[in-house]
């Protein structure tokens, strides 16, 4: 079957006897051949898949163990160089239901990146938004537009689209961390741009200040520098330090313990969102990033949201439930929660469970398409 352009048509239609489908007849078969030739597809054969009653994700819940990620990243460190072309020694989670593509979920890229002592990852910029999160180790600097940003355990480093950036490992040990990007979304929607920068960052950019310039300008609570007017769509603050995140979570649980139930998201469940200090919104236009702490022996309610998320266990041990799947998790483990699949977590070890989360909710909020359901406590 060829199209009117004399090329083979990719459209394949099959007349079947099924509820809601027209009766298979020679006339219907002829019609379908016409559709194929003209590159047409009727709604009635597709509606069940395309327009379900509620989202049915193409992705599935899945868990990656941190020890295996680190082991393979370390092995890659031994045999795969870092440089222009490949750009980064980053290894992405491939959701088992997404055809072997490097997509943790349909919209999100999640990868472990690995850098040996003294290595540089070359400078580039891209329209995709990115962040780094450090579950262990220290010593790597990300240089953003010439501003070196230290990376240590618990730190969150957003990297808004179209900023020049490179990495350098100034320590004596290899370092691994995770990268989150909206690569699949940008690829799908065909909105991505990329540009290469310098091969090597300058020596003075490899020095290691305790705080980046961005932190010295924007990292003071409730204060903005008058020298930086406007409200950029993505955050101008390049590092959110663990000391602050930890304290904010501890404060919420302490307030709850003092009788202020409204301080937490649910009983024993503290949570903060990383925000753009210039507008109070998510750090990146396409990604929401949060840190959750579930108190020892507490559990979250089950929540179902439009859009997908990736979690990494930052600390503690616990049990997470994603739809039909359930796992015991500990430091570094990563798992995905597909769209409209229920999620809950319980800190069933003797200590709190800290979960880093990123997701695509800002896309749906911007388009007025976000919905959520929370099961009663």
Site for its own copies in 285-314 (CB under 8 A): 285-286, 290, 306-308
**Does 272 interact with its own copies (rule: CB under 8 A)?**
yes
Show Cβ contacts of residue 196 under 8 Å, excluding neighbours closer than 6 positions: 84, 122, 123, 124
Question: Tokens 């979250």 label which residue?
Answer: 300
**Cβ distance 309 to 336 under 8 Å?**
yes
**Does 234 interact with its own copies (rule: CB under 8 A)?**
yes
**Does 96 interact with its own copies (rule: CB under 8 A)?**
yes
**Does 67 interact with its own copies (rule: CB under 8 A)?**
no
What per-residue string of b and e applies to 139-169 under the rule 16 or more CB within 10 Å gives b? Answer: bbbbbbeebbbbbbebbbbbbbbebbbbbbb
Q: Which is nearer to its own copies, 275 or 326 (CB)?
A: 275
Cβ-based burial of 24 (10 A; exposed 0-12, middle 13-18, buried ≥19): middle
Show Cβ contacts of residue 326 under 8 Å, excluding neighbours closer than 6 positions: 319, 320
Q: Which is nearer to its own copies, 78 or 350 (CB)?
A: 78
Question: Tokens 């924007």 label which residue?
Answer: 218
3-state secondary structure at position 300: coil
- Least CB distance to its own copies at residue 291 (A): 8
Q: Which is nearer to its own copies, 17 or 172 (CB)?
A: 17
- How distant is the alpha carbon of residue 263 from its chain centre? 26
**Does 7 interact with its own copies (rule: CB under 8 A)?**
yes
CA–CA–CA angle 251, 257, 262 (5° rounding): 75
Instruction: Note the maximum CA span of the chain.
Output: 76
**Does 371 interact with its own copies (rule: CB under 8 A)?**
yes
Which of 177, 180, 184, 142 has the alpha carbon at shortest distance from 163?
142
Q: Which stretch binds its own copies (CB under 8 A): 133-141, 166-174, 259-267, 312-320?
A: 259-267
**Does 255 interact with its own copies (rule: CB under 8 A)?**
yes
**Does 2 interact with its own copies (rule: CB under 8 A)?**
no
Q: Which is nearer to its own copies, 137 or 362 (CB)?
A: 362
The token pair that represents 18 in the structure block = 């099924």
Q: Which stretch binds its own copies (CB under 8 A): 61-69, 164-172, 315-323, 344-352?
A: 61-69
Q: Which stretch binds its own copies (CB under 8 A): 132-140, 163-171, 251-259, 310-318?
A: 251-259
**Does 277 interact with its own copies (rule: CB under 8 A)?**
yes
Task: Choose which of 159, 169, 264, 309 interacts with its own copies (CB under 8 A).
Answer: 264
β pairing state of 109-115 and 325-329: unpaired
**Does 192 interact with its own copies (rule: CB under 8 A)?**
yes
- Least CB distance to its own copies at residue 259 (A): 10
Interactions with its own copies, residue window 114-143 (CB under 8 A): 126-128
Task: Choose which of 198, 213, 301, 303 interacts with its own copies (CB under 8 A).
Answer: 213
- The DSSP letter of residue 240 is B
**Does 375 interact with its own copies (rule: CB under 8 A)?**
no
Interactions with its own copies, residue window 153-172 (CB under 8 A): 161
Q: Which is nearer to its own copies, 313 or 337 (CB)?
A: 337
**Cβ distance 34 to 13 under 8 Å?**
no
Question: Tokens 């969102």 label which residue?
Answer: 273
- Least CB distance to its own copies at residue 194 (A): 5
Task: Choose which of 91, 135, 151, 329 interacts with its own copies (CB under 8 A).
Answer: 91
**Does 72 interact with its own copies (rule: CB under 8 A)?**
yes
* Cβ count within 10 A of residue 170: 17
Q: Which stretch binds its own copies (CB under 8 A): 10-18, 131-139, 314-322, 342-350?
A: 10-18
**Stretch 329-348: interaction string toward its own copies, x if CB under 8 A:** ---------xxx--------
Q: Which stretch binds its own copies (CB under 8 A): 131-139, 295-303, 345-353, 358-366?
A: 358-366
**Torsion, CA 238, CA 243, CA 247, CA 249, rounded to 10:** 60
């Amino acid at each position: 079957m060829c199209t009117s352009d004399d090329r083979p048509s990719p459209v394949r239609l099959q007349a079947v006897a099924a509820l809601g489908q027209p009766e298979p007849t020679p006339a219907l078969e002829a019609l379908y051949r016409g559709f194929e030739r003209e590159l047409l597809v009727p709604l009635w054969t597709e509606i069940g898949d395309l327009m379900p009653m509620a989202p049915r994700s193409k992705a599935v819940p899945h868990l990656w163990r941190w020890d295996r990620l680190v082991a393979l990243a370390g092995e890659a460190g031994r045999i795969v160089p870092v440089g222009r072309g490949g750009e980064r020694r980053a290894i992405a989670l491939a959701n088992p239901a997404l055809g072997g593509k490097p997509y943790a979920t349909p919209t999100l890229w999640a990868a472990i990146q690995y850098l040996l002592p003294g290595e540089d990852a070359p400078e580039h910029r891209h329209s995709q938004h990115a962040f780094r999160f450090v579950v262990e180790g220290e010593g790597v600097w990300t240089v953003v537009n010439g501003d070196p940003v230290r990376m240590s355990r618990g730190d969150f480093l957003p990297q808004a689209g179209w900023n020049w950036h490179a990495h350098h490992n100034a320590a004596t040990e290899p370092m691994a961390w995770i990268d989150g990007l909206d690569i699949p979304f940008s690829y799908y929607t065909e909105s991505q741009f990329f540009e290469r920068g310098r091969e090597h960052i300058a020596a003075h950019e490899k020095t290691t200040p305790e705080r980046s310039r961005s932190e010295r300008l924007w990292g003071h609570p409730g204060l903005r520098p008058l020298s930086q007017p406007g409200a950029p769509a993505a955050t101008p603050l390049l590092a959110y330090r663990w000391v602050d995140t930890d304290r904010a979570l501890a404060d919420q649980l302490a307030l709850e313990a003092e009788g202020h139930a409204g301080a937490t998201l649910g009983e024993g469940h503290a949570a903060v969102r990383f925000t753009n200090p210039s507008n109070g919104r998510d750090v990146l236009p396409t990604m929401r990033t949060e840190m959750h702490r579930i108190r020892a022996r507490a559990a979250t309610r089950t929540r179902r949201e439009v859009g997908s998320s990736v979690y990494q266990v930052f600390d503690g041990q616990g049990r997470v439930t994603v739809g039909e799947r359930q796992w015991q998790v500990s430091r570094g483990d990563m798992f995905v929660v597909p769209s409209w699949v229920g999620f809950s977590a319980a800190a069933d070890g003797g200590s709190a469970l800290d979960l880093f989360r990123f997701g695509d909710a800002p896309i749906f909020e911007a388009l007025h398409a976000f919905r959520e359901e929370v099961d009663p406590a």
